[in-house]
Structure 1
Amino acid sequence: MPEHRPQAVTAPSGYWHIAWRSPWGNACSVLVERRALVVSTGLCVALLCACVLYLSLGSMALPVSAVLPALFGRGEMISVFTVQELRLPRLVAACLTGAAFALAGVLMQTLARNRLATPGIIGIDNGATAFAVASVVGLGVSLAPPAMALAGAATAAALTFGLVAGGGTQGYRFIVAGIGVGAVFGAVTQLMLARVAIDTANAAYPWTVGSLNARPGGAVALLAAGLVMGMIAAWMVARPLSLMRFKDATAYGLGINVKARRFQVLMLSVVLTALAVAVAGPVGMVGLIGPEIARSLSSSRQVPLVASTLAGALVMVLADLAGRTLLAPIEIPVGIVTAVIGGPWLLWILMRPQRSHA
């Protein structure tokens, strides 16, 4: 009898099917969405170009040809010092915080099925900021700002969910409750700053507006580790997250434990936001702008986790670069720059029809 050979798998439209055999002889394959790969590659190239500009421009402009040698310790000493000691650490902080804010934003938006449901808008940013400021102004708290920011973000998330009284994360009730919680924490932050000495208030000021000028080194390292683990965790829940964009009954019918996955995604978003706030303060608009850029470029088949992360890093780098150079030698905090950009962007989102996931 003729030997039966399995038919080759045809990739769906818009995908590449890559198949190979493992060293143990097992057949392995993966589907790669073409548009997602092209968008992520384009955003990665744009981010690299923005990073070169970031290292080149400033109070002392450097030619682009001198930036790369300075990164490896070659060239004039002043150029090496400027790139390695002054601009590179801040650039790393900008990339990490922007990526973390945007990844947390796209997770929260998908969870709530609402483009406005970013950690900044539902109060998580303000909760993390209030607790971090409490540690800075010394209200009997000995924990470091990163730990306090995580506690504040978790507290704000718990309060928001408690106020919706089991109504879930969908609908505008969840958004309104989050706005209320954020307003309360914002008022608490201002009250703490009003009751301390001016020098202490000035030390805590960067935490209230969002700035990369006074970034703690330990918090940046912690954010880097948290972002790597967060990306792995987000990749593990990518498929359930794509199905959770539909109604709960549909997700349940496809075998997704919606309650467990919702809790996992929420905790991941809270941790990423808290770690980013511990470095840069509340730069919440990045969590709104980054995912929206990624969504406008990507297809609606999947949640654009990688594209959102890259877009958030790109937005943060460009916003901090603009804050450093537009009114030099006066520096504008990056949180103010993103707020100026994010306001019109928020109005555009409200007026623009939402794309269907079908």
Structure 2
Amino acid sequence: MSVPTTPPGHGVLHTGRHSLLWHRRSATVGMALAAMLLLSLVFCLTSGDLGMGEALAALLGRGDEMQTLLVRELRLPRLLAGLLSGAALGAAGCLMQTLARNRLATPGMVGIDNGATAFAVASIVAVPTTLAPSALALSGAATAAALTFVLAAGAGARGYRFIVVGLGIGALFGAATNLMLARADIDAANAAYPWTVGSLNARPALAVWLLAGGLALGLPLAKLLARALMLMRFSDSVAIGLGVRLSAMRAATLALSVALTGLAVAVAGPVGLVALIAPEVARYLGGRHGVPVLNAALAGALLTLLADWLGRTLLAPVEIPVGIVMAVIGAPYLLWIILRQPAGRQP
């Protein structure tokens, strides 16, 4: 009887009767991204004239009153919002790209971001309701995703058809958002503006907690789906032959992507292109092995925190919303993807 050998580049963790096969390079990249994320959190928390000891004391409520206010009420909630929303967008982008077999198929590209934004803006300027804009954003994301897949001839749609339909749906929701803002009074338009560009300033605490809960449930679920998602990179006939239930997997992947995106937009608004760049960073650093959902989440959180820090400090005291910073960073990268390689290449 032959003893199973460990595949090259992998390690095995034995725990009693069970064993876990893991990819060494992906695990190393994940630990490196987690360490960089922790350092970035510390750096953003202590930036300016605030030292490490002063920030720690303020965080524990034992420091100067003004420093405690700065750390606990202003910086920490903002950092948490950026970390969670970036992680959700990074993971959702990885799922969506794998589902569509296209590196451009991110929630923003297929209209989910615009749908969530339109519903959030509508709750402020068009049909004010007792529901918070963050609650309506999730409904908008689900509506946009459903329209995209229905009009693209079902969840099996692939490639450019999926992208083009998504762009059309996003354009319709974007036009609706602009129309509502154009017809609204100046105060309502100003209140709705952060939901159109992406901002981490004074985010709703309830929405942040809901996003934290969604990530706690969504990331393990995405990891469980990763093996079948990897097989879905092949043709439908090959995936079915390997035992993948395509309809169920596509429905689960789409639902999870919509939930993560809607919760992220409910916190930060449409922070553009995080979902495009973060999965590519994870794949580039970790190699094209598996579906790097967790590494994409870490990369998305890191990118969002750094973009927010740049927006706060680059032209201080003028603040640039994090969504605008990400658009400036991501636009050249998007052009590079389109010009360098065929957009239909598998992620």
Q: Structure 2-normalised TM-score?
A: 0.95
C-alpha change, 1:206 and 1:139, in structure 2 (3 Å) is: same
Whichever residue aligns with residue 73 of structure 2, its letter is E
Superposed CA offset, 1:57-89 (max 9, x none): 2xx531234333332234433322211111001
C-alpha change, 1:185 and 1:357, in structure 2 (3 Å) is: closer
- Range moving further from structure 2, 160-169 or 300-309: 160-169
Matched, 1:63 2:58: no
Tell me how far apart the structure 2 counterparts of residues 111 and 344 of structure 1 sit (CA, whole Å): 24
Matched, 1:50 2:45: no
Tell me how far apart the structure 1 counterparts of residues 74 and 154 of structure 2 sit (CA, whole Å): 48
Matched, 1:33 2:23: yes
Superposed CA offset, 1:157-201 (max 9, x none): 111112222483311011011111111100100111111110011
Q: Return the match for 2:156 from 149, 168, 174.
A: 168
- Range moving further from structure 2, 208-217 or 124-133: 208-217
Matched, 1:349 2:337: yes
- Range moving further from structure 2, 339-348 or 143-152: 143-152
C-alpha change, 1:167 and 1:261, in structure 2 (3 Å) is: closer
Tell me how far apart the structure 1 counterparts of residues 233 and 56 of structure 2 sit (CA, whole Å): 43
Whichever residue aligns with residue 170 of structure 1, its letter is R
Displacement of 1:143 after TM fit?
A: 2.5
Tell me how far apart the structure 2 counterparts of residues 273 and 169 of structure 1 sit (CA, whole Å): 20
1:95-174 mapped onto 2 (5 Å cutoff):
95-166=83-154, 168-174=156-162
Superposed CA offset, 1:188-246 (max 9, x none): 00111111110011000000111111311111111110111111210221110111111
Contact 1:121 / 1:284 at 8 angstroms: preserved in 2?
no
Match of 1:213 in 2: 201
Whichever residue aligns with residue 172 of structure 2, its letter is V
Displacement of 1:10 after TM fit?
A: 2.2
C-alpha change, 1:350 and 1:85, in structure 2 (3 Å) is: same
Contact 1:300 / 1:357 at 8 angstroms: preserved in 2?
no
Contact 2:87 / 2:300 at 8 angstroms: preserved in 1?
yes
Match of 1:76 in 2: 64
Matched, 1:18 2:13: yes
Whichever residue aligns with residue 201 of structure 1, its letter is A
Displacement of 1:357 after TM fit?
A: 7.2
Contact 1:128 / 1:148 at 8 angstroms: preserved in 2?
yes
When Rg is computed on C-alpha atoms for both structures, the one with the higher figure is 1
Tell me how far apart the structure 2 counterparts of residues 259 and 203 of structure 1 sit (CA, whole Å): 41
Query: Could you list the runs of 5+ residues in structure 2 that have no partner in the other structure?
Result: none
Tell me how far apart the structure 2 counterparts of residues 232 and 280 of structure 1 sit (CA, whole Å): 23
Displacement of 1:8 after TM fit?
A: 4.6
Match of 1:318 in 2: 306
Contact 2:103 / 2:346 at 8 angstroms: preserved in 1?
no
Q: Return the match for 1:285 from 273, 286, 297.
A: 273
C-alpha change, 1:224 and 1:153, in structure 2 (3 Å) is: same
Aligned residues: 346
Query: Could you list the runs of 5+ residues in structure 1 that have no partner in the other structure?
Result: 1-5, 22-26
Displacement of 1:7 after TM fit?
A: 5.7
Contact 2:101 / 2:346 at 8 angstroms: preserved in 1?
no
Superposed CA offset, 1:283-341 (max 9, x none): 13110111111011012221101100000000000000000111111000000000000
Contact 1:121 / 1:178 at 8 angstroms: preserved in 2?
yes
Displacement of 1:46 after TM fit?
A: 0.7
- Range moving further from structure 2, 176-185 or 145-154: 145-154
Contact 1:52 / 1:67 at 8 angstroms: preserved in 2?
no
Whichever residue aligns with residue 187 of structure 1, its letter is A
The 3-state SS of whatever aligns with 1:230 is: helix
Whichever residue aligns with residue 9 of structure 1, its letter is P
Contact 2:110 / 2:166 at 8 angstroms: preserved in 1?
yes
Contact 2:112 / 2:258 at 8 angstroms: preserved in 1?
yes
Contact 1:108 / 1:266 at 8 angstroms: preserved in 2?
yes
Match of 2:230 in 1: 242
